[in-house]
Amino acid sequence: MIYALHGAVGSSRDWNLFQEKIPDLNVVNLWRFLACCPKPLPELAEAINNEIKEPPHTLLGYSMGGRIALHCLLQNPTHWKKAIIVSAHSGFTSDIQRAERRSHDAEWAAKCLRLPFEEFLEAWNQQGILSESMLPDRLHLKMWKKQIARSFIDWSTGAQEDLLPALSKLSTEVLWITGEQDQKFSQLAEHACQHMPHATHRSVKNCGHRVPWEQPEEFSRLITEFTQG
């Protein structure tokens, strides 16, 4: 089985495109983990791992979901036989960077709560890293508005440690995918894979941050080869 984690302001429905392309794909709605109370990243990883029965399986995470996937791997390495990390950040190395990101994400949390949801989505998708690609309609996420706002606090990159020291000891086989045009995250992936003994970086041409939806055929091919190899 492959368990897929969506990105920030994302939906489990984002993976519907791949239900036929990738066998045994199971999607996880991350927002329900914030339905009752705050859930810091280590606690979230433990909760996800506890829900997945009959391990080991393969874990797939995009962007924010990729960071969460890394926490799941570190929380219980034996729970996962392989992992695919897409356009994700392994964590800042300084307290100043983390503080700046927490402040930045707190502003997004406030926008999510303050603005009409349609305006918030428009502002989110106008960011340079996302503006060149489209994803399925997200208006259905309005019911999770409070949880999405909370995720900018609990699951911010500023709320996580630098994971590379721990990842360097990980024995799980990892495929790290980025878009060739997404230079920032490609450099992060290359750096991370240099420190991880069983990780491989693959750069996909003609796409940016949203690799799976910009190049679905190539993405599906990479996933299938990796999981069946």
pLDDT digits (tens, 9 = 90+) for 132-173: 666 667 899 999 999 999 999 999 999 999 999 999 999 999
Contact 60, 5 (CB under 8 A): yes
* CATH number of the CATH domain containing 10: 3.40.50.1820
Q: In what order do the strands lie in the sheet with 2-5?
A: 25-28, 2-5, 57-62, 80-86, 173-179, 199-204
CA–CA distance, 58 with 195 (Å, rounded to integer): 21
110 within domain boundaries: no
64 within domain boundaries: yes
13 within domain boundaries: yes
Domain that holds residue 220: 2-93+161-228
The total of structural domains in the chain comes to: 1
80 within domain boundaries: yes
29 within domain boundaries: yes
Tokens standing for residue 124: 């989110």
118 within domain boundaries: no
How would you write the pLDDT of the chain (229 residues) with one tens digit per residue?
A: 999 999 999 999 999 999 989 989 999 999 999 999 999 999 999 999 999 989 899 999 999 999 999 999 999 999 999 999 999 999 999 999 999 999 999 999 999 999 999 999 989 988 776 656 666 678 999 999 999 999 999 999 999 999 999 999 999 999 999 999 999 999 999 999 999 999 999 999 999 999 999 999 999 999 999 998 7
8 within domain boundaries: yes
Measure the CA angle with vertex 19, ends 170 and 82; round to 5°.
Answer: 10
pLDDT digits (tens, 9 = 90+) for 207-227: 999 999 999 999 999 999 999
143 within domain boundaries: no
